[in-house]
Amino acid sequence: MSGKVWFITGASRGFGRIWAEAALKRGDKVAATARVLADVADLARNYGDAVLPVALDVTDAHAVRNVVTRAYGHFGKLDVVLNNAGYALVGAVEEADEADVRAEFDANFFGALRVIQVALPILRRQRDGHIIGVSSVAGIVAGPITGFYHASKFAFEAMHDSLAQEVKGFGIKVTLLEPGAYATGFASMASLRIAPTIEAYSAIRAEVFAAGAKNQFGDPPATANAILKIVDAENPPLRFFVGTEGLPRARAAFAERLATWEAWDALSKAAQGEARQHNIAS
């Protein structure tokens, strides 16, 4: 029995639900949050006092502060802070309304940021803790028609990359989970927002949807053991591909990027100009 205390956003379904139950089944405790309390209330019926089910909309900064503080007060510590809440905005760059893009970032990026900023003082005082962010292969490689979802996950990745360097000295660990396609229901309308369409993009949209229909989706429950091992690892990875999709796509994408940078390296060096030092005034 590990005796860890988890704080999980988006625990109503999909990965959040599966990992919450995996933690509970092995004897851990979980503050399980979702936008609608009824969606996590059954966890308490099944697992009793090991669960604190709480309603939480991560776009509400006041609510985030209250709920994280309540979870810490209820259990007396926080060992794993897992940001899983989020959704995808589907639409070409030209199609999406700015308000919809801001809403996507508010949930996917700023929602996680709010939780992290409230949890960090607790974890620093403990000199221990593990911040886990559910990113995606979409945070490594971008494609058409979901550019703003990619953008939110690229930003999510960069934030956690910096965070890991900032908090290492406090004994706090950071891990980015990067799943590929899984049969979690994420591709359903419950996790998607569709931007108004422009006819000019109909062909590429159809191409993207057709390719998506051919995906080999992973089995969500199969992820649970891997996530528990990451949580229990003395030195967990900063980045972890969940499933088989990520590494081949990353290899191809980074090989192409490196080839392009190498091909244009002479011009890059010429653009450097004469090397000189610049002292920044304090």
Alpha helices in the chain (DSSP H): 14-25, 38-47, 61-75, 98-105, 111-126, 147-167, 202-213, 224-232, 246-263, 265-270
How many residues would you count in the chain? Answer: 282
Give the whole-angstrom CA distance, residue 153 versus residue 176. Answer: 11
199 DSSP 8-state letter:
G
Which ranges of 87-201 does DSSP label H, i.e. alpha helix? 98-105, 111-126, 147-167
8 Å CB contact between 53 and 75: no
**DSSP three-state, residue 32:** strand
Could you give the residue numbers annotated as active site?
135, 149, 153
**Do residues 8 and 82 make contact, with C-beta atoms less than 8 angstroms apart?**
yes
Instruction: Using only the alpha carbons of the chain, give its radius of gyration.
Output: 20
User: What span, in angstroms and rounded, lies between the C-alpha atoms of 220 and 147?
Assistant: 25
pLDDT in the model for residue 1: 45
Q: Which residues is 30 bridged to in the sheet? A: 6, 51
What does the pLDDT read at residue 216?
80
Residue 77 has φ and ψ, to the nearest 5°, of -165, 165
Domains, the chain, in order of start with CATH, read 5-242 (3.40.50.720), 246-273 (no CATH)
pLDDT at 2: 64
pLDDT the model gives residue 212: 80
pLDDT at 185: 62
List of residues 6+ apart from 180 with CB closer than 8 A: 136, 137, 218, 241, 242, 243, 244, 245, 246, 249
| Tens-digit pLDDT string for the chain (282 aa) | 469 999 999 999 999 999 999 999 999 999 999 999 999 999 999 999 999 999 999 999 999 999 999 999 999 999 999 999 999 999 999 999 999 999 999 999 999 999 999 999 999 999 999 999 999 999 999 999 999 999 999 999 999 999 999 999 999 999 999 999 888 765 555 567 889 899 999 999 999 988 887 778 899 999 999 999 999 999 999 999 999 999 999 999 999 999 999 999 999 999 999 877 777 665
